[in-house]
Amino acid sequence: MLMHESPCAIATITPSGNTVVERTTIAMLRDMPQVAPVFSRLPVHGTQDMFPDSYDVEGMLSAARLLSHAGPAAIIWNGSKGGAIGFEHDAGLAARITAETGIAADTSGLMLQRLMAAHGFQRIGLVTPYAAPYQARLAARLAMQGWHVVAESHLGMTDNLSYASVPFARIMEQAREVAHARPDVLLAWCTNYAAAPVCAAVENETGIPFWDATALGVLAGLRAAGITTRPGAAWGSLMRHAAC
């Protein structure tokens, strides 16, 4: 890309206690200079959620309006909450953002829905940093999608910021544990849990696709922006999907 060319911006809303989304997005797009990632934050931190069964829609729209000032081709909610409250909330949020800004919008959760349908996957091996009650809620909500969590691993964490502290080696151990059940897909479902860098290695060991919530958000952004180029194979098989 020549210096005078304008990059295509992908705008991302991320929880305020999240330290993974921005660094993962930037790393995944580092070899795509035609794409400029920009970010805004929504107050989500600590152990308390002021909107446990929905989204802070007004807060989301405020973040989206600020992002729209950068003239992005797409606005993405890169957060995993929709898994526990229902992806209909993601669909409604994306529609509201587009109505408010005139910009295409998408979410990690909606990208997951499309890919599960495209592959005919139903059996999930779920890995997260969450505590047992939230993990159970998440699994129950995924079951309402017609998906079955056939094996799971969680770490008992409740503070949003702590999720980002899980070492790569521990995430890989979790994935190996649930891979014994031979699910259709291994799913790391938390966007403040740094699974994306180890997905390719786990896939090479287990022969099972390993999808990460944050990477799904990046893929959603590229798709919504109409960009067919994908990050390289180092990010796993998920990046081979151009059209979903």
Q: pLDDT tens digits, residue range 82-121?
A: 999 999 999 999 999 999 999 999 999 999 999 999 999 9
Q: Which residue has the higher pLDDT, 95 or 240?
A: 95
Q: List CB contacts of 237: < 8 A, sequence separation 6 or more.
A: 199, 200, 203, 209, 210
CA 24, chain centre distance (Å): 10
Q: How confident is the model at residue 244 (pLDDT cuts 50, 70, 90)?
A: low
Q: List CB contacts of 124: < 8 A, sequence separation 6 or more.
A: 142, 147, 148, 149, 150, 183, 184, 185, 186, 187
Reply yes or no on whether the pLDDT at 3 is more than 50. Answer: no
Q: Give the integer Cα–Cα distance in Å for 68 and 148.
A: 38
Q: How confident is the model at residue 46 (pLDDT cuts 50, 70, 90)?
A: low
pLDDT at residue 44 in the model: 73
Q: List CB contacts of 161: < 8 A, sequence separation 6 or more.
A: 17, 19, 45, 46, 192
Residue 25 phi/psi, 5-degree rounding, is -60, -45
Q: List CB contacts of 178: < 8 A, sequence separation 6 or more.
A: 125, 126, 127, 151, 152, 153, 186
Which of these ranges, 51-65, 115-129, 149-163, 216-230, has the smallest mean pLDDT?
A: 51-65
Reply yes or no on whether the pLDDT at 51 is more than 80. Answer: no
- Pair 8, 195: CB distance under 8 Å: no
Domain boundaries, the chain: 8-108+214-228, 112-212
Reply yes or no on whether the pLDDT at 165 is more than 80. Answer: yes
The pLDDT of 159-176, averaged and rounded, is 96
pLDDT at residue 84 in the model: 96
Write out the CATH class of domain 8-108+214-228. alpha beta
Q: What pTM value is reported for the model?
A: 0.94
The token duo for 11 is 């705008």
Q: Would the CATH topology of 8-108+214-228 be identical to that of 112-212?
A: yes
- Pair 17, 192: CB distance under 8 Å: yes
Residue type, 109: G
pLDDT at residue 49 in the model: 74
Q: Which residue has the higher pLDDT, 7 or 56?
A: 56
Q: Give the integer Cα–Cα distance in Å for 42 and 86.
A: 19
CATH of domain 112-212: 3.40.50.1860
